Amino acid sequence: MSDPVYAQKYAQGAPRGDILGKLKQAIDARHTAGLGGTYIAGGSLYRPKSDNTFGGVEYGYETYGASWLSQHASLGLFATESEGFLATDVGTRVQLPTRLTPFAGLGLMLGGSRTVVSADHDGLDNDNDGRIDELNEMKSKIDEVLAVAYPELGVHLWFNGNWRTSVFGKYLFTNLGDQKDDWLIGGQLTYYYRPGLSK
């Protein structure tokens, strides 16, 4: 792989006949300690006790404090036609130091949602068309403030020393009761680099 720590460790490589050594080299991802990188993620938020389905994206940063432990923080936006949900997300994950590995994690989210409601009797020109309280006039307002804790399970796959893809499932326990508890199923693509070295 292209990471300098990995390249130095396996500069000579395993001998041709050393099958176990070749296998170890192929799956080894202990070089991840000290890496940091930016990611994009997307997923679907499904409410099992209603028919609402959300889609969304996240942009964030993830860092490896150890080869088996990472931390991440992101800003995410999920939306339907009538509701939006903006949140910050921080969490930690544990995984094996291998190129293909399951992982488990815990995290917290804090944010809020906006909804569109009728505004044809509020005495305001909400759509700035010069008319007040017209039929079917709508306005956006803050609907809910959310505090969320979640457990997470997923799988990482390293393509090389810099690129990693992940799939995950998070179950979101909210402060609004089980009517609002949600499954978030999604994927993540991360580009890593070693701070202090050229990207």
DSSP per position, 40-53: EEEEEEE-TTSS-E
Q: Give me the chain's average pLDDT, please.
A: 79
Report pLDDT for 55: 76
Taking the C-alpha atoms of residue 49 and residue 22, their distance in angstroms, rounded to an integer, is 50
For 66-84, the pLDDT digits (tens) are 999 999 999 998 776 666 7
**Cα(134)–Cα(111) distance, integer angstroms:** 32
Most confident of 34-38, 137-141, 160-164: 34-38
Q: How far apart are the first and last CA of the chain?
A: 15
Asked if 166 contacts 156 with a C-beta cutoff of 8 angstroms, the reply is yes
Per residue in 81-114, pLDDT (tens digit) is 666 778 899 999 999 988 899 999 999 999 887 7
As to burial, measured by CB atoms within 10 angstroms (0-12 exposed, 13-18 middle, 19+ buried), residue 50 is: exposed
pLDDT at 113: 77
Task: Provide the whole-model pTM.
Answer: 0.74
The domains located in the chain, with CATH, are 37-110+141-193 (2.40.160.20)
Could you report the per-residue pLDDT of 140-168, keeping only the tens digit for each? 666 777 788 999 999 999 988 889 999 99
